[in-house]
Structure 1
């Protein structure tokens, strides 16, 4: 398939003060898009001016939620070059999500090369300030116009780019987490392992209630017993518990996070024993109270690593240590961001230079 490059007649004004960048509000001049139908397969791949999509009111994405997406970043290095962090892993996960949602898979090499070309064209949009990056959002939606519950025969796949500011503008800060015993994010046999919009829509009510109570994030329990912790809405969770690293197993209800994978690799190389097992909410609460649970943090593309200061479950709240980011948490944050921004050599072949 040939990639067509269309001109941009009216480039946007870029943000001159990068300290004013926020997450997901500003978008670049161009986007990548391609189309699919059952008879032709993927076709009409192009990089075109960023703009609205034309969808029929009966487009199935609006009614039956056939939709997937990804999130990754491009980083400006000290020498001015640009690099992506583990894009092949994101594209492979994109295809796993597509398969789970009965959507067509993309050619991974063509998709990667199209993404690289898009970023080359939009390279001036990659910010240069400390902690900033270019956020990348690949998306696929069903676009066929019909009413009826079946996989669609037509799809749109696109990539949009957004320059984003540093997640922690005032330094890395611990978060206060509410453990929900009422709402459920994902159940075995469902779509929890896919990066699909419905999973996030299901989390909004709990997140709203948590915010109203003064909490930053919601930690979900398993759907069957409501006993074992799984993940936070936008992050995988990792616990430094009883001298070991404990994290929820990938058993169909937890997203296979790229940052999670990266952190576990770093921890293994640091000599830590890693247990991918179900950790009960009682272990978390009692461990924090007794000191067995030394540190906990979330991992995700947007935040990288987010330290936890306290957990609240029902009427009980416990603080981790002195409530400040833990030593191991901060060491991991530094090691990972140093690799991403080129301040430390990449020993893992995670970086793709542009």
Structure 2
């Protein structure tokens, strides 16, 4: 289902018109809905109450900080009040601070010298959550895209969908019926207990055997060493990352963290390609705005990969009595 997220964009205004335009374009290019002070309408409510309602309705909040602290209410800028309110309401936030290098050449007309201390305290506050630095509007737009992709992956929100995309009453009734059928089948399986053994299809068993007998050194041209783990064991070790979706660098760090195994590689694409070729993992690509033709890939466990994992667990149970317990089943095991 195509979900659109509402993103609240906060900043001082007169000094960051071009930067706000780039951020708005970046959010629109991702298919989401930007909202900021430009869209605020006259209301019977106070300005602050209206702002809070807009933040409450938003899925994510981004703030752009340059060299102005901004207009204040009771000694605190509206920008900082908005940021603190979003954090208090558990709205995922991302801050984009003008880099130290860019601050040196920032136009003096856009610097509030008399509010320097308050600005520095606000910058320090922003760095306690997700924070990126930028030097020009184009770089800012690209970093907003990357940060929002990270937030939507790690902190998914409700978002908005078209009414036509919602299930009809007939579909909902069918889902209820299927849920009842599932409950009945689960009760029957509970009665059967462990007397029935899960049958592993031949093609799945072939892949399990192939990956259990293939080592990382064979596909990455590294020298085999004692204690090296098979591709199957490494897949099991990384499956929690793949279930959520991850980048190749996440897999690299996970593999290099394997106890008693020294995997120092530039990139784990060879390992991932082996899983993709076996239909266990799928890859999705996108090209971040402002980064030219640079391709960024995210790797996920495929639908077949989820079934494969189930059969792998059953295969492990059967193999447990035949060989040493694998690394992933106990911290004291010897591969």
Which structure has the highest helix share of the two?
2
Report which structure shows greater RCO (CA 8 Å, sep ≥6).
1
TM-score by structure 1 length? 0.22
- Whichever structure has more strand as a proportion of its residues is 1
TM-score (norm 2): 0.23
